[in-house]
Amino acid sequence: MAGRASAPGAKGLALPHVPKILVYIIGFVPAVWLFYAGIMDQLGADPMRYLEQALGLWALRFLVATLAITPLRQLFNINLLRYRRAIGLLAFYYAALHLITYLVLDQGLDGAAIVADIVKRPYITIGMATFVILVPLAVTSNNAAIRRMGGQAWAKLHKLVYVAAIGAVLHYILVVKSWPLEPLIYAAIVAVLLGYRLFRSLVKKPSPRRRTA
Amino acid sequence: AAPLQAGKSPFSTDEKLTSREDVTSYNNFYEFGTGKDDPAAKAKSLKTSPWTVKVDGMVGKPAEFAVEDLIKSSALEERIYRMRCVEGWSMVIPWVGFPLADLIKRVEPLGSAKYVAFETAYRPEEMPGMDTLFPVLEWPYVEGLRLDEAMNPLTILAVGLYGETLPNQNGAPIRLVVPWKYGFKGIKSITRISFVDKQPPTSWNKQAPSEYGFYANVNPSVDHPRWSQATERRIGEGGLFVKRRPTLMFNGYAEQVASLYTGMDLRKLY
């Protein structure tokens, strides 16, 4: 989830350096607006469901955005690496808010109903598993963790974001009736972003960076 | 929406009504899109007048009824019913309509007729949700009831709500309301009613047979395969802090309809 944002020699377009705090501030605008509108009763006839779904959708959007950063750099020379950690953490925060909304507002902290949901409902099982996967990624999204783990182990762990992305779109597809377009579009985007990595790993077996001779 | 005169009914609940705003802005009517706000935004394009309902099949007197004639010739009643959506939310809606049984008696079904099949208008040019790359359902929308379910006094054809003719997003000009079944059984904007001897196909059952049965009776003890049906959220109640309420067997209409299903395994015939 988090990038080695300060890696030296980062290539790419000379984008203006936005302070990372600004990414968080902008990233939290939808959440603040949603909670405010919810309390002011501006979220339509079924405000709890709207809030729950919107928070989940934003988590997925940020997850997709983190996955887009590497292809953007490799294919289009647009380097947003220094924001990847912030965007990845935003995905986690939105997933946490989505989960809290489900647990507290939707289920009213009814333990039995929640456990039954997790055990019996595939989309909730998958959603919970996806959140559980995001936890270690969020916890290790800091420089201290990278130092402690070592870059390779850290990078390996963070490949779990691919699994989380698949889990998130499955969770979305399974919660809706029939096959409406929107979840399928997200699934297609995730498929392209992951397929790109698979393709690249198959085509470019030796990493160009290792060619020292 | 034009005002309608309607008498009271002993079948009405005295529960608190869901606001007209919520009833007319939060709808599932996939012919206009899959979003809850799509029908209210897009259903204006549906031309609901003139409108005829063709009644055919195994009947002694097949007929085509103009909806305005049906309204004039029927004793309209207000029926305040609970409406439970298969998605786990509910409303209390003051429908205006007449018993489907009244219409059925007028066309004199033959002894061979066992089921009633319904069909929604098929008008892609007026119904933008039908005209999509991947259709969410096979059009036109079709539904069905067993003849005894159709004859039950709770089953109505609604032509209005809140004392006025139906808004398009709620299924204008005429729709089915079967209050002990999940909302998707309440087929909207009906153009055809056929009497048949075999169980007719129904849209959601065709789309996902393991998830939506022909009967679709509200039943808290038979879960939808993907979510629980034990509880529901009443729209407009508590806002963000809405509390789930237990779902009632047959949506609270067991007294009137449970006998229709005596001896049936409702886990299998869901």
How much is the ipTM here? 0.90
Number of domains in chain A: 1
Q: At what angle do helices A84-100 and A122-139 cross, to 10 degrees?
A: 140
- Cβ neighbors of B230 (< 8 A, separation 6 or more) are A113, B220, B221, B223, B246, B247
**Does residue A4 belong to any structural domain of this protein?**
no
A51 lies within 8 A of chain B by CB: yes
**Which chain A residue has the Cα nearest residue B37?**
A44
8 Å CB contact between A69 and A81: yes
Q: Which of A70, A79, A88 is nearest to A200 (CA)?
A: A70
- pLDDT tens digit string along A61-80? 999 999 999 999 999 999 99
Question: Which candidate in B169, B233, B240 is best for mutational testing of the A interface (most A CBs within 10 A)?
Answer: B240
- Provide the CA B135 distance to its chain's centre, in angstroms: 21
Full-model pTM: 0.91
By residue count, chain B amounts to 270
CB contact under 8 A, B226 and A123: yes
Confidence bin at B131 (pLDDT 50/70/90): confident
Flag whether B188 is marked binding. yes
Q: Do A107 and B133 touch (CB under 8 A)?
A: no
Whether A46 and B233 lie within 8 Å, measured CB to CB:
yes
Give the relative orientation of helices A122-139 and A151-158 as an angle to the nearest 10 degrees. Answer: 160
CA distance A200 to chain B (A): 31
Residues in chain A with CB shorter than 8 Å from the CB of B236 are 45
Please check if B143 is assigned to a binding site.
no
In terms of residue numbers, what domain contains A197?
Answer: 20-207
Is residue B30 a part of any domain in this protein? yes
Which of B29, B139, B226 is the best residue to mutate to test the A interface, defined by the most A CB atoms within 10 Å of its own CB? B226
Is residue B81 assigned to a domain? yes
B87 CB neighbours in chain A (<8 A) are 177
pLDDT of residue B213: 97
Q: What total number of domains does chain B contain? A: 1
Whether residue A14 lies inside any domain: the answer is no
Say which of B21, B30, B226 has its CB closest to residue A174.
Answer: B226
| A111 at interface of B, judged by CB pairs closer than 8 A | no
Q: Is the pLDDT of residue A212 over 60?
A: no
Is A79 among the domain residues?
A: yes
* Strands in A121-178 per DSSP E: none
Tens digits of residue pLDDT in A88-112: 999 999 999 999 999 999 999 999 9
Is the predicted pLDDT of residue A18 greater than 90, yes or no? no
Q: pLDDT category, A204, cuts 50, 70, 90?
A: confident
- Shortest CA distance from A48: residue in chain B: B240
pLDDT, mean of residues A133-157: 97
* Residues of chain B positioned with their CB less than 8 A from the CB of A173: none
- B151 close contact with A: CB closer than 8 A: no
In a domain, B160, yes or no: yes
Residue of chain B nearest A126, judged by CA positions: B226
Unique residue bearing structure tokens 């298969």: B86
Nearest-5° Cα angle at B211, B209 to B215? 75
Note whether B146 and B115 are within 8 A (CB): yes
Per-residue model confidence (pLDDT) at position A14: 62
pLDDT at residue B132, rounded to an integer: 85
The pLDDT score that the predictor gives to residue A40 is 93
A7 within some domain = no
In the structure, what pLDDT confidence band is assigned to residue B102 with cuts at 50, 70 and 90? very high
Assess if residue B269 is contained within a domain.
Answer: no
Closest CA relative to residue B158, chosen from B56, B63, B81, B243: B81
Residues from chain A contacting residue B243 (CB–CB below 8 Å): 108
Q: Give a yes or no: residue B218 inside a domain.
A: yes
Q: Which residue of A has its CA nearest to B133?
A: A181
Please check if B78 is assigned to a binding site.
no
Q: Which residues of B touch A44 (CB under 8 A)?
A: 25-26, 36-37
CB < 8 Å from B in window 170-189 of A: 174-181, 184
Query: Hey, what amino acid is at B117?
Result: A
Which domain covers residue B95, as residue numbers? 20-261
Q: Per the CB < 8 Å rule, is A45 touching B235?
A: yes
Residue A9 lies in a domain: no
Residues of B within 8 A of A31 (CB-CB) are none
Nearest to A47 among B34, B228, B240 (CB): B240
- The first and second tokens of residue B78, run together, are 């207000």
Confidence of residue A5 (pLDDT cuts 50, 70, 90): very low
Tell me the C-alpha distance between A68 and A81, whole Å.
10
Report the chain B residue with the minimal C-alpha distance to residue A109. Answer: B243
Mean pLDDT taken over chain B: 97
What phi and psi values does residue B160 have, to the nearest 5 degrees? -160, 170
Is A54 domain-assigned? Answer: yes
Which residues in chain B touch residue A51, judged by CB atoms under 8 angstroms apart?
A: 240
Is there a domain that residue A114 lies in?
Answer: yes
* CATH number of the domain within which B37 lies: 3.90.420.10
Closest-CA distance of chain B to residue A169, Å:
16
| pLDDT in the model for residue A213 | 47
Binding residue per annotation — B123? no
> Nearest-CA neighbor of B170 among B55, B91, B88, B68?
B91
A-proximal residues of B, 84-113, CB under 8 Å: 86-87, 89
Query: What per-residue string of b and e applies to A88-126 under the rule 16 or more CB within 10 Å gives b?
Result: bbbbbbbbbbbbebbeebbbeeeeebbebbeeebebbbb
Asked if A181 and B239 come within 8 Å (Cβ–Cβ), the reply is no
Determine whether the annotation assigns residue B175 to a binding site: yes
Q: How far is CA A63 from the centre of its chain?
A: 2
- Residue A190 covered by a domain: yes
